[in-house]
Amino acid sequence: MTSTLVRTGPSQASPPTPTPAAPTRTRRRRMLGTRLAVQAVLWIYAGVAFGPILLVLLGSLRPTNEILQNPIALPTSFDLSNYVRAWESASLGTYFVNSVFITICSVALCVSVSVAAAYIITRRVFRGRAFLAAFFIAGLMVPAKLGLLPIYYMFQAGGLVDTHLGLILLYAASGIPFTMFVLMGFMRGLPVELEEAARLDGANDGRIFWSVILPLVRPALAVVTIFQFAPTWNDFFYPLVLLRDTDKYTIPVGLTQFFGEYSADRGTLFAGLIIALLPLAIVFAFASKQIMSGLTAGISK
């Protein structure tokens, strides 16, 4: 009887057991539910935040009698007479122009001085630069409004009381510490090799600053511009103390008189509020991309 020998080869590895898809589907459902919940919360917050502004915008296009009859309703016709009345009769046009002039000049002066000083302090090595940087940043620890009395006496001695120039210098000086803080932190993260390459190509300091540094710090410039524009435009304290002539008032101070004169005319009152909010909305709308780039610039480094 012959026995048959069966030669078995090396055992082959068994195929991997497929992972059940149930945990993966559960995880995806949880992520989708979390995302929908977050979006719902954000939409609710947006409705709460922008709902009053939308009601004011709709009310500015309606006559006062319609607003009193039904405060929450769409305008029956596209009427801009409230804006014309607020701009001309209530002198909001004068206040608006004053605020635009003061805000643009003060923000431009503040950002120009800060970006030049931040470039020298962070990109140059010289004795005393640490003290100079600390001197600029120290302004963040002292609220400027606490020094109102010496500021007023100094402005009075220099003939700057009741002038737009005094407000421009005050806003620019008070905004330099924060602007320097942001720009110096941003410039310290820029590679030195870019400047060295530009110097090898024959560029001088001015050319390097204008053509190399400024394009790189554009997101940071957008951030500090917005953060200086909004409080300067909305400031009520300094114009109330330092201005005397009503023709030199800014929007926040002018609105106090406007509210007293047109408190019964709801349509004109709403139109004046929209005029006061319009520049901030335009600036935020056009600079939102740069703001996000500036706020998230350090994440990818």
| CA 179 to chain CA mean position, Å | 12
Q: Does 300 have pLDDT greater than 50?
A: no
Q: Does 1 have pLDDT greater than 50?
A: no
What does pLDDT average to over the chain? Answer: 84
Domain count, the chain: 1
| CA 16 to chain CA mean position, Å | 55
| Residue 239 located in a structural domain | yes
| Residue 283 located in a structural domain | yes
**Sign of the four-CA dihedral 122, 113, 284, 144:** positive
Contacts of 235 (CB under 8 A, 6+ apart): 171, 250, 252
Q: Does 298 have pLDDT greater than 80?
A: no
How large is the average pLDDT for residues 112-119? Answer: 92
Taking alpha carbons only, the member of 288, 280, 275 closest to residue 82 is 275
| Residue 71 located in a structural domain | no
Give the chain's end-to-end CA distance (angstroms, integer).
80
| Residue 226 located in a structural domain | yes
Q: Does 14 have pLDDT greater than 50?
A: yes
| Residue 52 located in a structural domain | no
Q: How confident is the model at residue 299 (pLDDT cuts 50, 70, 90)?
A: very low
**Over the stretch 214-255, which tens digit does the pLDDT of each residue have?**
888 888 888 899 889 999 999 999 999 999 998 999 999 998
Specify the CATH number for the domain of residue 161. 1.10.3720.10
Q: What are phi and psi of 109, to 5 degrees?
A: -65, -45
Q: How confident is the model at residue 170 (pLDDT cuts 50, 70, 90)?
A: very high
| Residue 124 located in a structural domain | yes
- Taking residue 265's Cβ as centre, other Cβ atoms within 10 Å add up to 19
Structural domain boundaries, residue 182: 81-295
| Residue 38 located in a structural domain | no
Q: Does 287 have pLDDT greater than 80?
A: no
Report the length, in residues, of the chain: 301
List C-alpha distances in Å: 94 to 24, 89, 167, 250, 263. 63, 11, 17, 8, 20
| Residue 139 located in a structural domain | yes
Distance CA 165, CA 139 (A): 21
